[in-house]
Structure 1
Amino acid sequence: MTIRNRLVPTIGVLASALALAAAFAGPSVAGGATRASATIVDLAGNDVGWARFVEDMTGIVHVNVHARGLTPGLHGIHLHRVANCTAPFTAAGSHYNPGGALHGLLNAAGPHAGDLPNLVVNDDGVGHLDATTDRVTLTNSPTTLFDLTVDQVGSSLIIHAGVDDQVSDPTGASGARIACGVIVAG
Protein backbone atom coordinates (compact mmCIF):
# COMPACT_ATOMS: atom_id res chain seq x y z
CA MET A 1 0.00 0.00 0.00
CA THR A 2 1.41 3.41 -0.95
CA ILE A 3 1.62 6.44 1.34
CA ARG A 4 -1.08 8.13 -0.73
CA ASN A 5 -3.47 5.21 -0.27
CA ARG A 6 -2.96 5.40 3.52
CA LEU A 7 -3.13 9.20 3.68
CA VAL A 8 -6.48 9.69 1.88
CA PRO A 9 -8.56 7.59 4.34
CA THR A 10 -6.74 9.19 7.29
CA ILE A 11 -7.57 12.69 6.05
CA GLY A 12 -11.21 11.67 5.61
CA VAL A 13 -11.41 10.37 9.18
CA LEU A 14 -9.77 13.54 10.54
CA ALA A 15 -12.13 15.79 8.58
CA SER A 16 -15.15 13.86 9.88
CA ALA A 17 -13.88 14.10 13.47
CA LEU A 18 -13.35 17.86 13.16
CA ALA A 19 -16.84 18.36 11.72
CA LEU A 20 -18.37 16.33 14.54
CA ALA A 21 -16.42 18.28 17.18
CA ALA A 22 -17.59 21.59 15.69
CA ALA A 23 -21.19 20.41 15.81
CA PHE A 24 -20.95 19.91 19.58
CA ALA A 25 -18.77 22.92 20.43
CA GLY A 26 -21.50 25.10 21.99
CA PRO A 27 -22.90 28.00 20.00
CA SER A 28 -22.90 27.34 16.27
CA VAL A 29 -19.35 27.36 14.93
CA ALA A 30 -18.91 27.55 11.17
CA GLY A 31 -16.04 28.81 9.10
CA GLY A 32 -14.17 29.91 12.21
CA ALA A 33 -17.00 32.16 13.40
CA THR A 34 -19.45 31.67 16.25
CA ARG A 35 -23.08 32.53 15.49
CA ALA A 36 -26.33 33.38 17.29
CA SER A 37 -29.71 34.77 16.26
CA ALA A 38 -32.99 36.16 17.55
CA THR A 39 -36.51 36.38 16.17
CA ILE A 40 -37.90 39.77 17.16
CA VAL A 41 -41.56 40.04 18.24
CA ASP A 42 -43.76 43.01 19.12
CA LEU A 43 -45.95 43.36 22.23
CA ALA A 44 -48.73 41.35 20.53
CA GLY A 45 -46.32 38.50 19.77
CA ASN A 46 -46.13 39.20 16.03
CA ASP A 47 -42.84 38.48 14.25
CA VAL A 48 -41.43 41.89 13.29
CA GLY A 49 -37.83 41.04 12.45
CA TRP A 50 -34.61 39.25 13.21
CA ALA A 51 -31.12 39.75 14.55
CA ARG A 52 -27.94 37.89 13.64
CA PHE A 53 -24.76 37.82 15.70
CA VAL A 54 -21.39 36.58 14.45
CA GLU A 55 -18.24 36.54 16.58
CA ASP A 56 -15.21 36.57 14.33
CA MET A 57 -11.80 35.05 15.06
CA THR A 58 -10.59 38.33 16.64
CA GLY A 59 -13.41 38.38 19.22
CA ILE A 60 -15.44 41.12 17.54
CA VAL A 61 -19.20 40.45 17.51
CA HIS A 62 -20.98 41.69 14.38
CA VAL A 63 -24.63 42.59 15.06
CA ASN A 64 -27.10 42.77 12.17
CA VAL A 65 -30.74 43.69 12.90
CA HIS A 66 -33.72 43.98 10.54
CA ALA A 67 -37.12 45.08 11.88
CA ARG A 68 -40.40 46.20 10.29
CA GLY A 69 -43.66 47.79 11.42
CA LEU A 70 -41.95 50.38 13.63
CA THR A 71 -42.49 54.13 13.76
CA PRO A 72 -39.99 56.04 11.61
CA GLY A 73 -37.00 57.59 13.34
CA LEU A 74 -34.35 56.46 15.77
CA HIS A 75 -35.01 53.74 18.34
CA GLY A 76 -32.84 52.69 21.26
CA ILE A 77 -31.75 49.07 20.97
CA HIS A 78 -29.90 47.12 23.64
CA LEU A 79 -28.81 43.68 24.71
CA HIS A 80 -30.61 42.75 27.94
CA ARG A 81 -29.46 40.27 30.58
CA VAL A 82 -32.38 37.78 30.63
CA ALA A 83 -33.64 35.54 27.81
CA ASN A 84 -37.33 36.32 28.35
CA CYS A 85 -39.56 38.12 25.85
CA THR A 86 -42.87 37.86 27.67
CA ALA A 87 -44.78 41.11 27.00
CA PRO A 88 -44.31 43.85 28.15
CA PHE A 89 -40.68 42.63 28.03
CA THR A 90 -39.76 43.77 31.54
CA ALA A 91 -38.79 40.17 32.35
CA ALA A 92 -35.80 40.69 30.02
CA GLY A 93 -34.24 42.58 32.92
CA SER A 94 -31.82 45.45 32.68
CA HIS A 95 -29.18 46.11 30.05
CA TYR A 96 -26.46 43.47 29.84
CA ASN A 97 -23.74 45.03 32.00
CA PRO A 98 -21.37 42.53 33.63
CA GLY A 99 -18.72 45.24 34.08
CA GLY A 100 -20.95 47.62 36.05
CA ALA A 101 -20.40 50.60 33.70
CA LEU A 102 -22.80 53.50 33.24
CA HIS A 103 -25.12 53.63 30.22
CA GLY A 104 -24.28 55.18 26.89
CA LEU A 105 -21.85 54.97 24.02
CA LEU A 106 -21.09 58.68 24.64
CA ASN A 107 -20.85 58.39 28.43
CA ALA A 108 -17.28 58.76 29.73
CA ALA A 109 -18.09 56.20 32.46
CA GLY A 110 -19.78 53.83 30.03
CA PRO A 111 -20.95 52.06 28.09
CA HIS A 112 -22.90 49.03 29.26
CA ALA A 113 -21.74 45.90 27.45
CA GLY A 114 -25.25 45.70 25.92
CA ASP A 115 -25.35 49.27 24.57
CA LEU A 116 -25.67 49.57 20.78
CA PRO A 117 -26.09 52.48 18.35
CA ASN A 118 -29.69 53.54 17.66
CA LEU A 119 -31.76 51.52 15.20
CA VAL A 120 -32.59 53.71 12.17
CA VAL A 121 -36.17 53.18 10.94
CA ASN A 122 -37.14 54.62 7.54
CA ASP A 123 -40.48 56.18 6.49
CA ASP A 124 -41.79 52.72 5.54
CA GLY A 125 -41.28 51.48 9.13
CA VAL A 126 -38.29 49.31 8.23
CA GLY A 127 -35.21 49.49 10.42
CA HIS A 128 -31.67 48.25 9.99
CA LEU A 129 -28.66 48.16 12.25
CA ASP A 130 -25.20 46.94 11.39
CA ALA A 131 -22.82 47.35 14.32
CA THR A 132 -19.83 45.69 15.94
CA THR A 133 -18.88 45.30 19.58
CA ASP A 134 -16.01 43.88 21.57
CA ARG A 135 -17.89 44.24 24.88
CA VAL A 136 -19.72 40.89 24.59
CA THR A 137 -18.87 37.43 23.30
CA LEU A 138 -20.79 34.43 22.01
CA THR A 139 -18.17 32.06 23.40
CA ASN A 140 -17.34 31.04 26.95
CA SER A 141 -16.02 34.15 28.71
CA PRO A 142 -17.02 36.52 31.54
CA THR A 143 -18.94 38.62 28.96
CA THR A 144 -20.72 35.83 27.07
CA LEU A 145 -24.35 36.36 26.12
CA PHE A 146 -25.02 32.69 26.99
CA ASP A 147 -25.01 30.55 30.09
CA LEU A 148 -22.99 27.79 28.46
CA THR A 149 -23.38 25.51 31.48
CA VAL A 150 -27.16 25.23 31.14
CA ASP A 151 -28.94 25.65 27.83
CA GLN A 152 -26.99 28.21 25.77
CA VAL A 153 -29.75 30.78 26.24
CA GLY A 154 -29.18 33.79 28.39
CA SER A 155 -29.83 37.20 26.83
CA SER A 156 -32.29 39.17 24.75
CA LEU A 157 -32.37 42.12 22.38
CA ILE A 158 -34.86 44.92 23.10
CA ILE A 159 -36.04 47.70 20.77
CA HIS A 160 -37.35 50.79 22.56
CA ALA A 161 -40.03 53.30 21.50
CA GLY A 162 -37.73 56.32 21.50
CA VAL A 163 -34.23 57.43 20.67
CA ASP A 164 -31.37 56.51 22.99
CA ASP A 165 -29.49 59.70 23.94
CA GLN A 166 -26.38 57.51 24.55
CA VAL A 167 -25.63 59.27 27.85
CA SER A 168 -28.49 59.08 30.40
CA ASP A 169 -28.15 56.26 32.90
CA PRO A 170 -29.59 53.63 33.08
CA THR A 171 -31.50 53.46 29.75
CA GLY A 172 -30.61 56.45 27.60
CA ALA A 173 -34.14 57.84 28.09
CA SER A 174 -35.20 55.55 25.23
CA GLY A 175 -38.71 54.87 26.49
CA ALA A 176 -40.94 51.82 26.53
CA ARG A 177 -39.91 48.39 25.31
CA ILE A 178 -41.76 47.73 22.04
CA ALA A 179 -40.04 44.65 20.58
CA CYS A 180 -37.92 41.80 21.90
CA GLY A 181 -35.95 38.79 20.69
CA VAL A 182 -34.39 35.99 22.75
CA ILE A 183 -30.81 35.44 21.58
CA VAL A 184 -30.15 31.75 20.87
CA ALA A 185 -27.07 29.90 19.69
CA GLY A 186 -26.94 28.96 16.03
Structure 2
Amino acid sequence: MAGKAGGLKGVALIGGAGGNSAVAGALHFFQDPSTGYTEVRGRVTGLAPGLHGFHIHSFGDTTNGCNSTGPHFNPHNKSHGAPSDDERHVGDLGNIVANKDGVADIFIKDLQISLSGPHSILGRAVVVHADSDDLGRGQKSNCQSLFLCCIYARFVVVMNSVKQQEMQEQELDAVSLDFDLQFNNL
Protein backbone atom coordinates (compact mmCIF):
# COMPACT_ATOMS: atom_id res chain seq x y z
CA MET A 1 0.00 0.00 0.00
CA ALA A 2 2.69 2.54 0.96
CA GLY A 3 4.72 2.14 -2.22
CA LYS A 4 2.00 2.92 -4.77
CA ALA A 5 2.54 6.25 -6.51
CA GLY A 6 -0.26 8.59 -7.46
CA GLY A 7 -2.82 7.52 -4.91
CA LEU A 8 -4.64 9.39 -2.19
CA LYS A 9 -3.97 8.51 1.43
CA GLY A 10 -5.70 9.17 4.72
CA VAL A 11 -5.38 8.09 8.34
CA ALA A 12 -8.07 7.82 11.00
CA LEU A 13 -7.14 7.56 14.66
CA ILE A 14 -9.74 5.76 16.73
CA GLY A 15 -10.62 6.44 20.34
CA GLY A 16 -13.45 5.02 22.41
CA ALA A 17 -16.68 6.91 22.92
CA GLY A 18 -19.34 6.52 25.58
CA GLY A 19 -16.91 5.68 28.36
CA ASN A 20 -14.96 3.13 26.33
CA SER A 21 -11.51 4.66 26.75
CA ALA A 22 -9.83 1.25 26.31
CA VAL A 23 -10.76 1.17 22.61
CA ALA A 24 -8.03 2.48 20.33
CA GLY A 25 -6.66 2.01 16.87
CA ALA A 26 -5.66 3.45 13.53
CA LEU A 27 -7.05 2.99 10.05
CA HIS A 28 -5.06 3.71 6.90
CA PHE A 29 -6.92 4.52 3.69
CA PHE A 30 -5.35 4.39 0.22
CA GLN A 31 -7.18 5.02 -3.04
CA ASP A 32 -5.47 3.68 -6.16
CA PRO A 33 -6.46 5.83 -9.16
CA SER A 34 -5.49 3.10 -11.64
CA THR A 35 -8.06 0.64 -10.24
CA GLY A 36 -10.51 2.88 -8.38
CA TYR A 37 -10.27 0.66 -5.31
CA THR A 38 -9.83 2.13 -1.85
CA GLU A 39 -7.99 -0.06 0.65
CA VAL A 40 -8.70 0.22 4.35
CA ARG A 41 -6.11 -1.36 6.63
CA GLY A 42 -5.76 -1.11 10.35
CA ARG A 43 -6.20 -2.50 13.81
CA VAL A 44 -8.69 -1.72 16.56
CA THR A 45 -8.04 -2.96 20.10
CA GLY A 46 -10.16 -3.03 23.25
CA LEU A 47 -13.29 -4.42 21.58
CA ALA A 48 -15.54 -7.17 22.92
CA PRO A 49 -14.77 -10.42 21.08
CA GLY A 50 -17.02 -11.07 18.07
CA LEU A 51 -18.56 -9.20 15.16
CA HIS A 52 -18.98 -5.41 15.11
CA GLY A 53 -20.73 -3.38 12.42
CA PHE A 54 -18.27 -1.11 10.59
CA HIS A 55 -19.54 1.92 8.67
CA ILE A 56 -18.84 5.36 7.31
CA HIS A 57 -21.53 7.68 8.68
CA SER A 58 -22.75 10.88 7.02
CA PHE A 59 -21.35 13.48 9.38
CA GLY A 60 -18.03 14.05 11.09
CA ASP A 61 -19.81 15.67 14.02
CA THR A 62 -19.23 14.01 17.39
CA THR A 63 -20.52 16.83 19.61
CA ASN A 64 -23.09 14.37 20.97
CA GLY A 65 -20.81 11.35 20.72
CA CYS A 66 -21.56 8.96 17.91
CA ASN A 67 -25.23 9.93 18.06
CA SER A 68 -24.50 13.06 16.02
CA THR A 69 -22.70 11.22 13.20
CA GLY A 70 -25.99 10.64 11.38
CA PRO A 71 -26.97 7.62 9.30
CA HIS A 72 -24.70 5.50 7.12
CA PHE A 73 -23.24 7.58 4.27
CA ASN A 74 -25.71 7.01 1.43
CA PRO A 75 -25.37 9.61 -1.37
CA HIS A 76 -27.12 7.35 -3.93
CA ASN A 77 -30.17 6.69 -1.71
CA LYS A 78 -29.79 2.90 -1.83
CA SER A 79 -30.94 0.22 0.62
CA HIS A 80 -28.70 -1.09 3.38
CA GLY A 81 -26.60 -4.08 2.34
CA ALA A 82 -23.35 -6.01 2.52
CA PRO A 83 -20.08 -4.70 1.05
CA SER A 84 -20.37 -7.25 -1.78
CA ASP A 85 -23.95 -6.22 -2.69
CA ASP A 86 -24.75 -4.00 -5.68
CA GLU A 87 -27.53 -2.42 -3.61
CA ARG A 88 -25.88 -0.88 -0.56
CA HIS A 89 -24.97 2.39 1.10
CA VAL A 90 -21.53 3.71 0.23
CA GLY A 91 -20.82 3.60 3.97
CA ASP A 92 -21.76 -0.08 4.39
CA LEU A 93 -18.46 -1.81 5.15
CA GLY A 94 -19.92 -4.90 6.82
CA ASN A 95 -18.54 -6.36 10.03
CA ILE A 96 -15.10 -6.50 11.56
CA VAL A 97 -14.16 -9.43 13.80
CA ALA A 98 -12.50 -8.94 17.18
CA ASN A 99 -10.57 -11.99 18.37
CA LYS A 100 -10.66 -13.37 21.94
CA ASP A 101 -8.23 -10.62 22.98
CA GLY A 102 -10.50 -7.88 21.59
CA VAL A 103 -8.28 -7.12 18.59
CA ALA A 104 -9.72 -6.61 15.11
CA ASP A 105 -7.31 -6.55 12.18
CA ILE A 106 -8.95 -4.82 9.24
CA PHE A 107 -8.35 -5.17 5.52
CA ILE A 108 -11.06 -4.01 3.15
CA LYS A 109 -10.79 -3.33 -0.57
CA ASP A 110 -13.81 -1.41 -1.84
CA LEU A 111 -14.87 0.31 -5.07
CA GLN A 112 -17.58 2.52 -3.56
CA ILE A 113 -15.71 4.50 -0.92
CA SER A 114 -13.66 7.37 -2.31
CA LEU A 115 -11.17 9.85 -0.88
CA SER A 116 -11.99 12.50 -3.50
CA GLY A 117 -14.86 13.87 -5.54
CA PRO A 118 -18.45 14.75 -4.68
CA HIS A 119 -19.03 11.54 -2.69
CA SER A 120 -15.77 11.57 -0.75
CA ILE A 121 -15.79 9.98 2.69
CA LEU A 122 -13.35 12.61 3.99
CA GLY A 123 -14.68 14.58 6.93
CA ARG A 124 -17.23 11.91 7.77
CA ALA A 125 -17.16 9.57 10.76
CA VAL A 126 -15.90 6.00 10.86
CA VAL A 127 -18.09 4.08 13.32
CA VAL A 128 -17.59 0.69 14.93
CA HIS A 129 -20.81 -0.60 16.48
CA ALA A 130 -21.21 -2.66 19.65
CA ASP A 131 -23.26 -5.25 17.77
CA SER A 132 -22.93 -7.04 14.46
CA ASP A 133 -24.49 -5.68 11.28
CA ASP A 134 -27.11 -7.93 9.67
CA LEU A 135 -25.99 -6.64 6.24
CA GLY A 136 -29.53 -5.61 5.33
CA ARG A 137 -30.94 -9.11 5.75
CA GLY A 138 -32.78 -8.72 9.05
CA GLN A 139 -34.33 -6.29 11.50
CA LYS A 140 -31.34 -4.36 12.85
CA SER A 141 -29.90 -2.96 9.65
CA ASN A 142 -28.65 0.20 11.31
CA CYS A 143 -26.73 -1.44 14.19
CA GLN A 144 -28.49 0.78 16.69
CA SER A 145 -25.93 0.57 19.50
CA LEU A 146 -23.04 2.84 18.68
CA PHE A 147 -19.82 1.83 20.38
CA LEU A 148 -17.04 4.09 19.29
CA CYS A 149 -16.34 6.45 16.50
CA CYS A 150 -13.65 8.44 14.90
CA ILE A 151 -13.55 11.36 12.52
CA TYR A 152 -10.83 11.32 9.98
CA ALA A 153 -9.52 13.93 7.58
CA ARG A 154 -10.05 16.59 10.20
CA PHE A 155 -6.73 15.66 11.74
CA VAL A 156 -4.75 14.30 8.82
CA VAL A 157 -3.42 15.72 5.61
CA VAL A 158 -4.46 13.68 2.60
CA MET A 159 -2.34 14.26 -0.45
CA ASN A 160 -1.63 12.71 -3.79
CA SER A 161 1.70 10.95 -3.27
CA VAL A 162 3.04 12.05 -6.69
CA LYS A 163 2.34 15.70 -5.83
CA GLN A 164 3.94 15.17 -2.42
CA GLN A 165 7.10 13.81 -4.09
CA GLU A 166 7.15 16.77 -6.52
CA MET A 167 6.90 19.20 -3.60
CA GLN A 168 9.75 17.48 -1.78
CA GLU A 169 11.99 17.75 -4.84
CA GLN A 170 11.34 21.46 -5.47
CA GLU A 171 13.04 24.36 -3.78
CA LEU A 172 10.50 26.63 -2.18
CA ASP A 173 11.01 30.39 -2.43
CA ALA A 174 9.67 32.08 0.69
CA VAL A 175 6.65 29.82 0.80
CA SER A 176 5.19 28.85 4.12
CA LEU A 177 2.57 26.18 4.59
CA ASP A 178 0.64 26.27 7.85
CA PHE A 179 -1.70 23.49 8.89
CA ASP A 180 -4.14 23.87 11.74
CA LEU A 181 -4.41 20.27 12.91
CA GLN A 182 -7.09 19.81 15.53
CA PHE A 183 -7.63 16.56 17.36
CA ASN A 184 -11.06 15.78 18.70
CA ASN A 185 -11.16 14.25 22.14
CA LEU A 186 -13.26 11.20 21.31
Instruction: Report the TM-score when normalising by structure 1.
Output: 0.72
1:145 alignment partner in structure 2? 121
Cα drift, residue 64 of structure 1: 1.4
Contact 1:107 1:167 in 2 (8 A): no
2:124 to 155, 161, 166: 155
Cα 1:82–1:102 shift into 2, 3 Å: same
Paired position in structure 2 for 1:115: 92
Instruction: Write the distance in 2 (CA, Å) between the matches of 1:45 and 1:71.
Output: 11
Alignment equivalent of 1:96, drawn from 59, 73, 94: 73
Structure 2: which 5+ residue stretches go unaligned?
A: 159-186
Deviation at 1:89, TM superposition (A): 0.7
Query: For residues 8-58 of structure 1, what are the alpha-carbon distances to aligned partners after superposition, in whole Å with 9 as ceiling and x for unaligned?
Result: xxxxxxxxxxxxxxxxxxxxxx72110111111112373611111100122
Residue in 1 aligned with 2:30?
A: 54
- Letter in structure 2 aligned against 1:157: V
User: Does the CA contact (< 8 Å) of 1:82 and 1:156 recur in 2?
Assistant: yes
Distance 1:63 1:171, change over 3 A: farther
User: 2:59 — aligned with what?
Assistant: 82
- Paired with 1:81 and 1:170, the residues of 2 have a C-alpha distance of 21
The 1:169–1:56 alpha-carbon spacing in structure 2 relative to 1, beyond 3 Å, is: farther
Contact 1:88-1:177 within 8 A present in 2 as well: no
Equivalent residue for 1:24? none
**What secondary structure, in the 3-state scheme, does the structure 2 residue paired with 1:116 have?**
strand
- Is the CA contact 1:164–1:172 (under 8 Å) kept in the aligned structure 2? yes
The answer on whether the counterparts of 1:64 and 1:131 sit within 8 Å (CA) in structure 2 is yes
Deviations 1:102-147 (A, max 9, x none): 11117967210001121110000111221111112112x232123x
Matches within 5 A, 1:3-18: none
The structure carrying a bigger helix percent of its residues is 1
- Map 1:164-179 to 2 at 5 A: 164-168=133-137, 172-179=141-148
Contact 2:83 2:92 in 1 (8 A): no
Matched, 1:38 2:12: yes
In 1: Cα distance, 2:112 partner to 2:119 partner: 7
Q: Which protein has the larger Cα radius of gyration, Structure 1 or Structure 2?
A: 1
Moved more, 73-82 or 36-45: 36-45
Aligned to 2:47: 70
Give the Å deviation of 1:88: 3.1
Question: Structure 1 126/106 Cα, relative in aligned 2: closer, same or farther at 3 Å?
Answer: closer
1:89/1:113 CA distance change after superposition, 3 Å: same
* Equivalent position SS for 1:118: strand
Pick closer, same or farther for the CA change 1:172–1:128 going to 2, 3 Å. farther
Sort the Cα spacing of 1:91 and 1:171 in 2 relative to 1 into closer, same or farther, 3 A: farther
